[in-house]
């Protein structure tokens, strides 16, 4: 059952804080990646390209954990565990919005030819933090 993000958690997720995302590799080990995140108020949203390790891991095992710690106040944080859902529609626009939020750039400069972007939507099943 999905948990509800608090107003303070939504505020933190809307800031330009870097998140650490954990997925499960095929051998059962954990893979960690620093990522840009935001929220739609209900779920944590991140963006990746099909074929990357995060994407492959989540296709095989949708369990995911996201941790955001305020770089100015390490006691202000949110930890979200849930299952990943993929949304392709609007993913290119989403990565551009994240590039604006984190880099001040109008478009994401890290695109590679032929990549297909996806939004990873994480509905909280377990929530901790401020």
Cα 45–Cα 100–Cα 114 angle in degrees, nearest 5: 70
| Dihedral over alpha carbons 82, 84, 89, 94 (to 10 degrees) | 60
Those residues whose C-beta lies under 8 Å from the C-beta of residue 95, and which sit 6 or more positions away, are: 47, 108, 111, 117
pTM score, whole prediction: 0.93
Domain residue spans in the chain? 7-129
Q: Which CATH class is domain 7-129?
A: mainly beta
Residue recorded with tokens 């620093």: 34
Strand partners, 69: 77
Query: How high does pLDDT run on average in the chain?
Result: 96
What does the pLDDT look like over 79-129, one tens digit per residue? 999 999 999 999 999 999 999 999 999 999 999 999 999 999 999 999 999
């Amino acid at each position: 059952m999905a948990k509800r993000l608090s107003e303070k958690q939504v505020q933190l997720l809307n800031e330009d804080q870097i998140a650490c995302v954990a997925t499960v590799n095929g051998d059962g080990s954990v893979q960690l990646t620093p990522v840009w995140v935001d929220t739609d108020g209900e779920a944590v949203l991140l963006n990746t390209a099909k074929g990357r390790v995060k994407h492959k891991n989540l296709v095989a095992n949708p369990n995911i954990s996201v941790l955001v710690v305020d770089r100015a106040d390490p006691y202000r944080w949110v930890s979200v565990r849930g299952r990943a859902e993929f949304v392709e529609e609007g993913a290119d626009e989403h990565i551009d919005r994240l590039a604006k939020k984190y880099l001040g750039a109008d478009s994401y400069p890290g695109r590679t030819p032929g990549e297909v972007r996806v939004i990873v939507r994480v509905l909280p099943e377990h929530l901790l933090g401020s």
